[in-house]
Structure 1
Amino acid sequence: HSYIIKFQMKTTVKLIVTAACTLGSLVYSGKQQCRTFPHGLHNPHCKEPFSVTEPSSNQQSTTTRQGATTRQDTTTQQSTTTQQDTTTQDQSVLDCCAGPVINMPRRSYVSCSRKVTSLTVINTAECRQQPTCDLKAKYRTVDGSCSNLQHPSWGQAGTPFTRLLPANYQDGKSKPRLSVTGRPLPNERLLSTTFFPDRNVPDTVNTLNLMLWGQLIAHDFTHIRFSKSGSSSCCTSDNQLLPTNNLSDSCYPIQIYPTDYFYSQFNITCLGIKRAVPFDSGTCPGSSAEQANIVTHVIDASMVYGSDIDTANRLRSFTNGKLIVKTTSDGRDFLPDTANPFFPCNNNASEHTCYDAGDDRVNQNSGLTVLHISLLRLHNFLCDELIKINPHWDDEILYQESRRIVGAFLNHVTYKHILPILLGKEYMYEKGLLVENCCDCCINYHNPDINPSTITEFAGAAYRSFHSLIPQIIVLVSSNYEAESYVRFDDTYFKPSFLQDAGVVDKCMRGFVNQPQQSQDLFFTQAITNLLFKFNNSWGLDLETLDVHRGLDLGLPTYNDMRYLCGLQRATQFSDFRDVMSEEAVQKLELNYISVEDVHLFVGGMLEDLIPGTLVGPTFQCIIGEQFYHYMRGDRFYYKNCGLPWSFTHNQLNEVYKMSVAWMYCVTGDDIQTIQHETFQKPSEQNPIVPCSQILSPNFDAWKE
């Protein structure tokens, strides 16, 4: 069918639509599409309503779509479009909110909304005093406030996490839950050793770079504060359990059985864990305990710049927009040192370096630290590029514009390159998370009714599933991409000094993009199950024990409750879990839990079979997808939002699309000369290592004033 549509802006578009339909489905990017054709032109095979409202004069054109989305495995039929313009013929494609593939008039403005199946979050910060916002501010606030003008505290640092289900505490307030029988739940360390043993299973496709960037972005939007009150330890000095009446309310220790295969050799029967600090300022009266996120909830590079004004100012040089650096004698820039005594590396007598950054976890492991160093260098590189074309810009503009670009870059890497691997492209199209780039159209994805704040079930369980990707070692790779040496992952906790040795940052970067991450499975390396944050000891904590334990501390729902919310059948007996789990997994659950209503969310979600083409099972896909939908739609500063006072121009956005992790490593490494295009996938014939000159790079003339 061929139709002519006239717009008020005097541009004529010839729209050629291939009619295609699958029983009430609206599926993204070339999939078969059901809708009423624009302007009342109806496809008789389709049942989904679709409308395009022409703008009146002096108004922007508005596109509105309605219709539920379902996953369909059907034959793809693509729509073919042409655009006629008085001066040019543009073949760019608009996939507007996953609607029909249409070429819109150049520089047209479209506000898209469509029904995507979405869960409702429980907002927990509505009773606090709201910040005052500058309605036309071009730049984000440091603390994340005013990310949503109708709800200014949504996304703000220091506000509570949201929830998908009500907090699940034994007393309805803050006491960790018990079994439905009233007995204690299974011991967390026993669950860890039973379900999550150590085995080396490298990923066959994805690199360590994916795991590290996954951790990096997690530190952008989630950081739980733990109690510092009460006694300094929740165990005795020789790591034995304290009598219950000697424990402060802030303590929540983990019992280790004397038969434990690892800790027994050190005579350890107690891991001293503090509880997450409850948010007690501004929560609604009578509510259960909620935990505060001490960083901004949105993707804004807060781990680089900080989540409060004091931190942000401490990191700035206030010269040409740049961040403070520590420069080596041979001219290499690193993060500045901190004298903060609470940074663990400053308590290590053998460590001479302790970096400062926007997030206090910067020194946690060497992989994460290298990414922080790279982002610091990227910010200052951007300042240099921007001042070349705008020498009249002052320090504040250079700082804010560079910060703004770094934030957009992180969003682009997350939504375009990381999430499709984690969640699967088909699901992302279906959920509205992956929309094809359009060079000459303008889309505003923001919905002020959506809360961009971080969801407790996401931070406390679903996103923690990727701890399975962590390796035992980090390989250092030479310039010809040969393994040169390695460091044990657990030997780099809070020990960043070696990164300043000549060539090490580059060797790490090449290692990240060459070394496979561990497979997403039920196996977790000893670096995190026995040796986490070991410092100078021969033993450390167990992260998987903590993952289960933290779920109780945060009042997470049970696995059965969460899977039901996500559309799976509610289990009444353990055999009902076979719809998404192996027989072996179901049998282990039945041996370790009394009731299906007792299974921890983290344990149940981890045991689900992975959906093909993803790194998650259905319940964690549901939670993670929901979270990134909220980050995207609830944040007015989401980098693709267009036509607003704080938006990037079309030309600027097209340059952001050119930015990649490969490009960043090329411009921020000490001497990175070659790299593959897709750094989250191993080098191959389809993804060859090429000179940096062949890596697409942005043209900063788009920012010239």
Structure 2
Amino acid sequence: MTALLCLLAVVLCDSSEKDELRKVEDDDDGSPVKRHEGDDASRNTRHVFPLSRVDGPTFARGLAYQNPTPSFSGITSFNQHFNRPVVFPPHSPSAHLTSYSPFSATPTILPTSPLQHANSGVSNFLGSNGGYSSRGQATIRQLHPVTTLHNVAPVVGHNRLDFPEAEKTEHHQGVGSSCRGHTTCSPLVSCAACFSELDPYDKCELEDGHFGVCCPPSPSPNAPNRRVFAVPNIFVKTPDISLYQLNEAAKAGLWEVAERDKLEQVLRTQDIVVSNPKSPEYRHLQFFKTSPRAMKFGRAAITVERSTVFLMKKFYLTSLQAGYGLRRFSVRDTILSDTCPEEPYCGEKEEYYRTIDGSCNNIRNPRWGQAKTALNRILPAHYEDGVFEPRGGISGRQLPSARVVSISNVADVDMPDPELTLSVMQMGQFIDHDLTSVPIFRFGNESGIQCCNDGAFVDPSMTHPACFPVEIPTDDPFFSRFGRRCMNFVRSMPTQNENCTFGSAQQMNQITHFLDGSNVYASSVEDERSIRAGRGGLLNVQGPALLPADPSASENSCDALNRGFDCFLAGDNRVNEQPDLAVIHTIFMREHNRLALQLAKINPQWDDETLYQEARRINVAQMQHIIYNEWLPIILGKDCMVNNLMLPRPDGFSRDYDPNVNAAIRNEFAAAAFRFGHTLVQGMFQLFGKNHQPTEKVQLHEHFNSPHLLYTPGKLDEFLRGLAKQPIQKFDNFVTEDLTNRLFQGMNNPFGMDLVALNIQRGRDHGIPPYNALREACGLPRARSFEDLLDVMPGPVVQRLSGVYDSVDDIDLFIAGIAERPVPGAVLGPTFKCIVADQFMRLRRGDRFFYEHGGLPNSFTEAQLREIKQTSWARIMCDNGDHIKAVQPLAMRLPGKLNMKVPCDSASIPKLDLTPWISVPY
């Protein structure tokens, strides 16, 4: 009955009230201000050249960026919040779990088994990406005085911190409110997942007089699911191969790699390398940094791959026998044994703090999730030869050009989302850069491999084996104007598989596989050292509070230098790709330093290492909570989150950790499904000033690799307001031209690259199975014809797909995934939703350090966990902008009647209280 009343109330919210809400907005201090006519940030402003096979006019995706300017008065302004005396309250005991939920190896998240399909049909086509002035509002909640201290002395050190017990307190309960039934008056962020079900008229009053909402009890799953896709394991009979024959194959592999070295030397001598710093190809390479250690692992993996191909030819093996049958033969037994990575050492410190490279997260399998290990798979790889050749068509013919698929199915049409802000897109990219970074092949001197010469194909005799260029048609609606027939594309680098065996290639993830803030803190000891200040637990800053300058950047790799400004250095080298990405990096760097300074105030006995590790723990926990509480329910929908047990608990610990679950990133997720965010991108970013009026528009393609605007005082805040005010584009098969024609275009260049084509090509490169295989694995009926796709795709889209693909079994996963209609209540369609849900289930259940897990040496106390669950994206923005004074509580949703902008010091945007982290010295 309550749900019915909520639904009726939502329906009764008529359009006239919504129109009035659009006319009146709040100033930065929360006071109303009239918005000028014509300032609608979602309105289309320009006409774009219509792309082939798209009927009718097409329009550019979105408006321009705007550039707010931060003011800098010194990092010491942090200390303004720490001058009040610290009160030592009693602390609550942490709950201890004595059992873990059993993990079933049953293979699928949805009804059917991926393994079953791998053995029956899918295998038939085995064959293939500021500084600070005042920080605004107080960042510590007023501490409640206590009369006594418990006589508890904690152990303080690098390996373990024990905190005294504290009494339980209730946060932000409504006063003078009248919530009906089992609902409770809470800040909106406490029931973010239920946003669409809340009654906009059923508000209540929080402790400071600001509004809360009558939040329903935590929803229960209709059919709880704890299963994730099983690792594909195909058992095929292979002939017995002796150690002598394995070593013979290993020698053949070493010889082929040596021959490749000779070819590379010739190519470098003849300057057949990517050398023009103004070209999109050169700029694209800067986005794919490959570390020397990754190149070493990649060289070992390609040696094993060539050895596998030798065995396949010598013993006349099928693609299945070569790809999976040969996995029973270990490389450790051969002359290549020294290429197998060593097991990491896991000591006492690793029980309590994350390692920087992700090792030792799983005590039984310490390499699970470690940087530079292989991506895992949902379904078996679909390589053309079963080992490493990119995926081909089911009939044996070549697949259509990835550029042809792109221009035939993707246009630039402005379709702003009526509910969601640009924060959704930007948080998605930030998360992606925390989870995946697949390196590509390079020359030994780290220069780029050239597959196209001034838009034409390189002579085959001078083509590097890692080349897999995209063919551009002669009648291309954009690139034909510039005589381009070839788009540079270099294949991803493999690494040894988990057990270091022969068999099909697996691509490398260069960073940690966990949601662990590696984009802030790095994935190697060397990179971490370069971003740490070495004092007070702080991260390095430039000036008052911008990210530090990258000393390795040159004018060739950093357009900002051509404008007189440095590029930034962060835990992930892609930080400078576009301004909003640099903004969110800056915000979470500042949050770390804010936490470290507060912890130093309340625990003056802590040294640099302890302050750093504790601030890192809290910062990462906040990221995880924001993702699972605010971002994922938008992407996957509340029902998916509830039924797959992914929503944060309203209180207390979870019992979800399962050491049998490998959190490693799935290839289908990295190379296709999690690239869905490219459809959400605005071609122009709108910036907003202190009065929330538009100030500037920033064209995306003019700012790749150039974050120079953030050096202008006030601009960082203007970008932040844009993230909370400008809508994203809808999830669909429309993508801004800034990505499809002008990716990494750069200064004084008339064209760039096509990200959609690159995504399609990357999927083929990685041996990603076709859409139909993943669709079936995710519980949809297998499509026997193009018409069968109409159950999840619009008719015109299906018609265009049938015009470029020979068979429904040829369709690439990415292009079909973005064409599916969204599931009700979610952003994604059913297939991408299934793949993304499986991955985030793994990232929760397979991460020993996930913030909600209890009963472990690294677990937070109950009081600490309760505080972490107060956090929100709005709170992070408020605490770390320069002069952000007001924002809506759910900053990933556009402001509205239920989600009105409030001052940053309002109880509607709860604050993290660090009192539970006080450690009483002996």
Deviation larger for 135-144 or 268-277: 135-144
Give the Cα–Cα distance (whole angstroms) in 2 for the partners of residues 334 and 575 of structure 1. 53
Instruction: Provide closer, same or farther for how the CA distance between residues 504 and 59 of structure 1 changes in structure 2, counting only shifts above 3 A.
Output: closer
Which of 389, 414, 417 is equivalent to 2:602?
389
Aligned 8 A contact 2:391 2:768 in 1: no
Instruction: Provide closer, same or farther for how the CA distance between residues 385 and 122 of structure 1 changes in structure 2, counting only shifts above 3 A.
Output: farther
Partner amino acid for 1:339?
A: P
Map of 2:38 onto structure 1: none
Give the Cα–Cα distance (whole angstroms) in 2 for the partners of residues 88 and 587 of structure 1. 61
Deviation larger for 136-145 or 160-169: 136-145
Map of 1:206 onto structure 2: 420
Which of 893, 902, 905 is equivalent to 1:693?
905
Which of 629, 642, 655 is equivalent to 1:416?
629
Instruction: Provide closer, same or farther for how the CA distance between residues 175 and 317 of structure 1 changes in structure 2, counting only shifts above 3 A.
Output: same
Map of 1:660 onto structure 2: 872
Cα offsets for 1:65-112 (capped at 9, x unmatched): 9999999xxxxxxxxxxxxxxx9999999xxxxxxxxxxxxxxxxxxx
2:648 is the counterpart of 1:453? no
Map of 1:304 onto structure 2: 520
Residue 210 of structure 1 deviates from its aligned partner by: 0.9
Residue 116 of structure 1 deviates from its aligned partner by: 2.4
Which of 275, 284, 294 is equivalent to 2:491?
275
**SS of the residue 2:753 aligns to:** coil
Give the Cα–Cα distance (whole angstroms) in 2 for the partners of residues 597 and 632 of structure 1. 33
Higher relative contact order (CA 8 A, sep 6+): 2
Which of 287, 291, 295 is equivalent to 2:507?
291
Give the Cα–Cα distance (whole angstroms) in 1 for the partners of residues 451 and 612 of structure 2. 46
Aligned 8 A contact 2:442 2:449 in 1: no
Which of 731, 739, 743 is equivalent to 1:528?
739
Give the Cα–Cα distance (whole angstroms) in 1 for the partners of residues 596 and 168 of structure 2. 35
Aligned 8 A contact 2:560 2:708 in 1: no
Instruction: Provide closer, same or farther for how the CA distance between residues 281 and 205 of structure 1 changes in structure 2, counting only shifts above 3 A.
Output: closer
Aligned 8 A contact 1:429 1:435 in 2: no
Give the Cα–Cα distance (whole angstroms) in 2 for the partners of residues 435 and 412 of structure 1. 7
Alignment of 1:626-637 (within 5 A): 626-637=838-849
Partner amino acid for 2:732?
A: D
Residue 586 of structure 1 deviates from its aligned partner by: 2.1
Give the Cα–Cα distance (whole angstroms) in 2 for the partners of residues 435 and 88 of structure 1. 19
Map of 1:38 onto structure 2: none
Give the Cα–Cα distance (whole angstroms) in 2 for the partners of residues 66 and 288 of structure 1. 28
Map of 1:318 onto structure 2: 534
Aligned 8 A contact 1:341 1:347 in 2: no
Which of 476, 498, 513 is equivalent to 1:260?
476
Give the Cα–Cα distance (whole angstroms) in 1 for the partners of residues 346 and 740 of structure 2. 45
2:590 is the counterpart of 1:377? yes
Residue segments in structure 1 that go unaligned for 5+ positions in a row: 1-57, 72-86, 94-112
Map of 2:579 onto structure 1: 366
Aligned 8 A contact 1:320 1:383 in 2: yes
Instruction: Provide closer, same or farther for how the CA distance between residues 62 and 631 of structure 1 changes in structure 2, counting only shifts above 3 A.
Output: closer
Give the Cα–Cα distance (whole angstroms) in 1 for the partners of residues 454 and 522 of structure 2. 37
2:697 is the counterpart of 1:486? yes
Partner amino acid for 2:355?
A: T
Map of 2:565 onto structure 1: 352
Residue 304 of structure 1 deviates from its aligned partner by: 0.5
Aligned 8 A contact 2:681 2:736 in 1: yes
Which of 539, 542, 545 is equivalent to 1:333?
545
Cα offsets for 1:576-610 (capped at 9, x unmatched): 22222222222222221111111111122122211
Cα offsets for 1:665-701 (capped at 9, x unmatched): 1111111111111110111121111111112101111
Aligned 8 A contact 1:128 1:283 in 2: no
Instruction: Provide closer, same or farther for how the CA distance between residues 181 and 210 of structure 1 changes in structure 2, counting only shifts above 3 A.
Output: same
Alignment of 1:160-199 (within 5 A): 160-199=374-413
Map of 1:119 onto structure 2: 229
Give the Cα–Cα distance (whole angstroms) in 2 for the partners of residues 303 and 283 of structure 1. 28
Map of 1:470 onto structure 2: 681
Partner amino acid for 2:828?
A: V
Partner amino acid for 1:548?
A: I
Instruction: Provide closer, same or farther for how the CA distance between residues 118 and 502 of structure 1 changes in structure 2, counting only shifts above 3 A.
Output: same
The list of structure 1 runs, each at least 4 consecutive aligned residues, that deviate by more than 6 angstroms after superposition, is 63-71, 87-93, 123-127
Aligned 8 A contact 2:356 2:522 in 1: yes
Deviation larger for 336-345 or 397-406: 336-345
Aligned 8 A contact 1:128 1:281 in 2: no
Report how many residues are paired. 609
Aligned 8 A contact 2:561 2:567 in 1: no
**SS of the residue 2:724 aligns to:** helix
**SS of the residue 1:155 aligns to:** coil
Map of 2:116 onto structure 1: none
Deviation larger for 541-550 or 274-283: 274-283
Map of 1:157 onto structure 2: 371
Provide TM-score, normalisation by structure 1: 0.82
Cα offsets for 1:150-186 (capped at 9, x unmatched): 1111110010000001111001111112211111101
Residue 349 of structure 1 deviates from its aligned partner by: 3.2
Aligned 8 A contact 2:625 2:648 in 1: no
**SS of the residue 2:417 aligns to:** strand
Which of 490, 497, 501 is equivalent to 2:712?
501
**SS of the residue 1:299 aligns to:** coil
Partner amino acid for 1:320?
A: G
Give the Cα–Cα distance (whole angstroms) in 2 for the partners of residues 149 and 294 of structure 1. 21
Partner amino acid for 1:549?
A: Q
Deviation larger for 235-244 or 337-346: 337-346
**SS of the residue 2:887 aligns to:** strand
State the identity %: 37
Alignment of 1:469-618 (within 5 A): 469-536=680-747, 537-618=749-830
Give the Cα–Cα distance (whole angstroms) in 1 for the partners of residues 710 and 100 of structure 2. 51
Provide TM-score, normalisation by structure 2: 0.63
Residue 435 of structure 1 deviates from its aligned partner by: 4.1
Partner amino acid for 2:680?
A: L
Residue 475 of structure 1 deviates from its aligned partner by: 0.9
Map of 1:3 onto structure 2: none
Residue segments in structure 2 that go unaligned for 5+ positions in a row: 1-94, 111-166, 171-181, 185-222, 234-323, 331-339
Partner amino acid for 2:752?
A: G
**SS of the residue 1:291 aligns to:** strand
**SS of the residue 1:426 aligns to:** helix
Give the Cα–Cα distance (whole angstroms) in 2 for the partners of residues 588 and 693 of structure 1. 52
Aligned 8 A contact 2:823 2:829 in 1: yes
Map of 2:861 onto structure 1: 649
Instruction: Provide closer, same or farther for how the CA distance between residues 644 and 593 of structure 1 changes in structure 2, counting only shifts above 3 A.
Output: same
Instruction: Provide closer, same or farther for how the CA distance between residues 60 and 603 of structure 1 changes in structure 2, counting only shifts above 3 A.
Output: closer
Give the Cα–Cα distance (whole angstroms) in 1 for the partners of residues 565 and 109 of structure 2. 56
Give the Cα–Cα distance (whole angstroms) in 1 for the partners of residues 625 and 855 of structure 2. 18
Instruction: Provide closer, same or farther for how the CA distance between residues 236 and 114 of structure 1 changes in structure 2, counting only shifts above 3 A.
Output: closer
Aligned 8 A contact 1:489 1:527 in 2: yes
Instruction: Provide closer, same or farther for how the CA distance between residues 619 and 511 of structure 1 changes in structure 2, counting only shifts above 3 A.
Output: same
Residue 115 of structure 1 deviates from its aligned partner by: 5.2
Give the Cα–Cα distance (whole angstroms) in 2 for the partners of residues 114 and 195 of structure 1. 37
Alignment of 1:57-76 (within 5 A): none
Give the Cα–Cα distance (whole angstroms) in 2 for the partners of residues 236 and 63 of structure 1. 54
Residue 273 of structure 1 deviates from its aligned partner by: 1.2
Deviation larger for 198-207 or 235-244: 235-244
Partner amino acid for 1:179?
A: G
**SS of the residue 1:693 aligns to:** coil
Instruction: Provide closer, same or farther for how the CA distance between residues 685 and 205 of structure 1 changes in structure 2, counting only shifts above 3 A.
Output: same
Flag the structure with larger Rg.
2
Map of 1:54 onto structure 2: none
Residue 442 of structure 1 deviates from its aligned partner by: 3.4
Residue 269 of structure 1 deviates from its aligned partner by: 1.1
Instruction: Provide closer, same or farther for how the CA distance between residues 578 and 117 of structure 1 changes in structure 2, counting only shifts above 3 A.
Output: farther
